[in-house]
Structure 1
Amino acid sequence: YRGITNFVAETCWLRNLLRELRTPLFFAMLVYCDNVSAVYLSFNLVQHQHTNYVEIDIHFVQDFVVAGQVRVLHVHSRYQFADIFTKGLHFALFEEFRISLSV
């Protein structure tokens, strides 16, 4: 969930920069996450006992989701191209991601 929060913070900064340059964004920024629980927490306004340790992050992201500035969507981990930089992948999957990234 910390990654989603960092992305939303960066998105907020970019939105403000574009607004100052008189080029506002009129659409929601999409966040793709492979963690179903994190996606669910982003739009579930009901808090649970087990989420107290990320409560500030949850509220921060939820504010932007409710305002329509951010949409958090689930993507299967099979399609997370960033895994090429963080995980040891099988050669076929590595090649597929490498080609998709034009590297």
Structure 2
Amino acid sequence: MVADEWELPELSDAAELGVTELVANVVRHVPDRRCVVLVLRLEGGVRVEVADAAPELPFPAMELDGEAEHGRGLALLDAVVGKWGVGSRSGGGKTVWFECGTS
């Protein structure tokens, strides 16, 4: 979707789902369960960053098992946001980010 096609409810729903998935991943996979969430309002959209101290980078499951209770978060994120990515942080850890409605 391009920025002009995003309506506020769609943007809000996508951002809420994205934050929920990324923070849930922190709770499940980061030993100290701590993170920093940054929400930035952009021209026509929003960018969300979730940073934690764990060095392991997340990756989408190659194949999703219909019966599995876990492993769908990044695939779901990819389906509802405009773009997303992950990068290592200086000093350790990583930041997973996504953008909705920016282009």
Same-fold call, TM cutoff 0.5:
no
- Between structures 1 and 2, the one with greater helix share: 1
The alignment's TM-score, normalised by the length of structure 1, stands at 0.30
**Bigger CA radius of gyration:** 1
The alignment's TM-score, normalised by the length of structure 2, stands at 0.30
